[in-house]
Structure 1
Amino acid sequence: MSRRNILITGASSGLGEGMARLWAEQGRNLALCARRTDRLIALRDELLAHYPHIHVSVRALDVNDHAQVFAVFREFREEFGTLDRVVVNAGMGKGASLGTGHFNANLQTAQTNFVAALAQVEAAMEIFRDQGAGHLVTISSMSALRGMPRAMTTYAATKAALASLSEGLRADLLKSRSPIKVSTVYPGYIRSEINAKVKNTPFMVDTVTGCRALVRAIEREPDEAYVPAWPWTLMGFLIKRLPLSVVSRMA
């Protein structure tokens, strides 16, 4: 099934921007939102210059403004007629070991990666239920598979919560035999702004390679996908089963 109109949050940089470029190349219409509108406008103008036959619309969105999330999603739906896919991508990676005086950083990550994601899921599902169709994509993380140490502790917990939320939603839709699809994607190490300072990381791929793998996985509309498939499908199997003392050294 071709999802013609795609909404992406956090689309001004990183994975969101990369996926937008690839879907534009495929001729999809794009609803792009993020806080940094200057970058969104530049991206829109670039995409339309290369692909003038598509429709690209941009709006400012702070996902922690929950009322704004609902308003922006509804405005996009009205503009495009339908929203065929929503990618809940906006997130952040601040954090520190619990109890070390950085509660505000951990709180900000928890609010952005889970509570704000909940608002996005609610807003998307409100539209999909009204349409009777749609594809929701939540961007989790390989770190969601186990508890992680130090700066990763809160981040991993939020991504695990998002994955659980998505699975619960799939269970809810199964009971009602709804045609709405929900996919949870677990990216491995893909270079982006959120990890730009991380060095010497094994299996790290560049942004373009990682985004191509993400788009390929999302187009299949699976329940869950590890991305890139190699080596992260195998790593996912191991991470769930290895002793915590071993897993903690992977972060």
Structure 2
Amino acid sequence: MRKNILITGASSGLGAGMAREFAARGHHLALCARRIDRLQQLKGELEAANPGIKVAIRTLDVTEHAQVFEVFRAFREDLGSLDRVIVNAGIGQGVPIGKGGFARNKDIIETNFIAALAQCEAAMEIFRAQKTGHLVIISSMSAMRGMHGGLTAYAASKAGVAALAEGIRADMLRKPGIEVSTIFPGYIRTEMNQDAPAEHTPFMIDAQRGCYLLAKAIEKEPAKAYVPWWPWAPMGFLMKRLPLGMVRKLF
């Protein structure tokens, strides 16, 4: 059992939801995000509901790259080891390319990809020293193809982290004890997408079910997982092969 789990972006959304699921399964947690007040509330909730677990919290802005390494190492000291790291922190809606939104789109790429690289580096440094660990990278179904409008930069960032995860996995093929999983969630209702039009978010499920399915998939330690499997696994197959115009109409 991977007893000690670190989750970034844990103050809300999928991060907080996964923290609740793993706490209920008896895991000790290392939770970090920018909003310490929310982390403090979540820590109190989790420890009250799950006596016997330990929840460590720290402030972290993942775009402060040196801080990522400091916080991950501090969590390892807090818990004695890190058995699983879930690279989850990210931001969403951007601006169509060429419409004056460079600053926002740059923030998306830097947060979702460059900062994810820092998290992977920090996690793998620890796992290589321990000779064991499970790296989990939360990508997105939007990584399957280029997306139009405000999703262009977001989809590119999530395709980037999927490729990053696969490259790390290739490095670990001959190193038993270290596993790398790429998770492709479909639409799960969170603060990030709660105002998105229904016609652009097909097959949406609620956060509680989505986070339950995420935790269930992660504990199997797959190379890749689509969450939920139906309809997103077959949808992913189609998204990679349909003409771009058809993909645009779907999303």
State TM-score, norm by structure 1: 0.98
Residue by residue, what CA displacement relative to the aligned partner does 1:181-201 show, whole Å, maximum 9, x if unpaired?
A: 000000001001111111323
Distance in 1, matches of 2:180 and 2:69, equals 19
State TM-score, norm by structure 2: 0.98
Q: Percent identity between the aligned chains?
A: 61
In structure 2, the residue matched to 1:157 is 156
Distance in 1, matches of 2:14 and 2:178, equals 24
Distance in 2, matches of 1:216 and 1:204, equals 18
In structure 2, the residue matched to 1:99 is 98
Residue 246 of structure 1 aligns with an amino acid whose one-letter code is M
Residue 167 of structure 1 aligns with an amino acid whose one-letter code is E
How far is the alpha carbon of 1:250 from its aligned partner? 2.3
Instruction: Please list, as runs of the form range in 1=range in 2, the aligned pairs for 1:137-152 lying within 5 A after superposition.
Output: 137-152=136-151
Residue by residue, what CA displacement relative to the aligned partner does 1:133-176 show, whole Å, maximum 9, x if unpaired?
A: 000000000000100001000000000000000001111111x4
Which of 190, 195, 198 is the matching residue for 1:197?
A: 195
Matched, 1:109 2:108: yes
Q: Report the secondary structure of 2:85's partner residue.
A: strand
Distance in 2, matches of 1:136 and 1:245, equals 35
Q: Report the secondary structure of 2:192's partner residue.
A: helix
Distance in 2, matches of 1:31 and 1:59, equals 8
Instruction: Please list, as runs of the form range in 1=range in 2, the aligned pairs for 1:1-251 lying within 5 A after superposition.
Output: 2-174=1-173, 176-200=174-198, 201-251=201-251
Counterpart contact for 1:4–1:29, Cα < 8 Å? yes
Distance in 1, matches of 2:62 and 2:124, equals 16
Residue by residue, what CA displacement relative to the aligned partner does 1:86-143 show, whole Å, maximum 9, x if unpaired?
A: 0000000131111111100000000000000000000000000000000000000000
Distance in 2, matches of 1:198 and 1:99, equals 22
Distance in 1, matches of 2:7 and 2:160, equals 20
Distance in 2, matches of 1:14 and 1:178, equals 32
Q: Report the secondary structure of 2:182's partner residue.
A: strand
- What is the RMSD of the two structures over their aligned residues, measured on CA atoms? 0.8
Distance in 1, matches of 2:196 and 2:97, equals 21
The answer for unaligned runs of 5 or more in structure 2 is none
Distance in 2, matches of 1:44 and 1:199, equals 33
Distance in 2, matches of 1:51 and 1:213, equals 20
Distance in 1, matches of 2:228 and 2:32, equals 25
Q: Report the secondary structure of 1:193's partner residue.
A: coil
Distance in 2, matches of 1:47 and 1:148, equals 37
Q: Which runs of 4+ in 1 moved over 4 A?
A: none
Residue 84 of structure 1 aligns with an amino acid whose one-letter code is D
Counterpart contact for 1:94–1:108, Cα < 8 Å? no
The answer for unaligned runs of 5 or more in structure 1 is none
Counterpart contact for 1:88–1:137, Cα < 8 Å? yes
How far is the alpha carbon of 1:52 from its aligned partner? 1.9
Residue 108 of structure 1 aligns with an amino acid whose one-letter code is D
Q: Report the secondary structure of 2:196's partner residue.
A: coil
How far is the alpha carbon of 1:51 from its aligned partner? 1.2
